[in-house]
A = this chain, B = another copy of it.
Amino acid sequence: MNVDPADGADGADRGDRADAGDTGQRSTEERIMEATFRALLEHGYCDLSIANIAEEFEMSKSSLYYHYDSKDDLLVAFLRFAAKRFEETTLSRPPSDPMADLEHLVEKLLPLEQRAEQREIQTVMSELRSQSVTNAAFREEFSDIDDLLVATIRDIVERGIEDGSFREVDSTRVAEHVVATLNGARAARATTNRETAPAAVRVSLASYLDTTLRGRR
């Protein structure tokens, strides 16, 4: 199984079109990733088959085997694709006031009202994450994702401590708490009908951050 991040597609890639994106055309690999995304939304991870993906791809099954050596290979590539999309749609923006940054991140990760696109990527990530229980490559990827989330929040908290707007808390501990709470609430949204839970957590989390970081009550 190929998990080298430097290799965009996989070992079966013939090496042409080394860097797409400059043209308006999407590469075949990108189109396969998009097709996999749709197939995963429609069928779920367990019922995801090469036939499903080929259907969304609107090409034959055997075409997929030209671009990827195996189903496993394709899915590992897709995991990286989905993780990248997740990070792009939730992280990274110019830094401003630390508390505003925290609130912005919370809103990105657990929006009060979810747009369809965002709900879809969350659903897919939720399906993929559960595979980490039995799949080591997936487990590595989600370890990295959570590490990145914790590091992002920890950095914001430390910035707030340095500029004097936050109290001197254990930034890692606070970051771990926030990530666990957000992940739990996001899981609730993906796996239960408890529709009021995310809003309650949002309110409680805002209160927690205000109390913990600014000492208010």
Contacts and interface: CB of A to CB of B under 8 A. Distances in A.
Q: Give the secondary structure class of A's interface.
A: helix
A103 interface: no
Nearest to A191: B132
Task: Give the interface residue-count category, chain A.
Answer: 35 or more
A147 B193 CA distance: 10
A7 B200 CA distance: 35
A46 B75 CA distance: 14
A61 interface: no
Q: Can you tell how many copies of this chain the complex includes?
A: 2
Interface in A48-106: none
Interface string A173-214: 110110111111101101111100100110111001001100
Given A127-B133, A130-B129, A176-B197, A139 B192 contact: yes
Interface of A: 43-47, 123, 126-127, 129-134, 139-140, 142-143, 146-147, 150, 172-174, 176-177, 179-185, 187-188, 190-194, 197, 200-201, 203-205, 208, 211-212, 215, 217
Given A126-B133, A180-B201, 7 more contacts: A46-B46, A130-B191, A139-B193, A142-B192, A172-B200, A174-B204, A208-B208
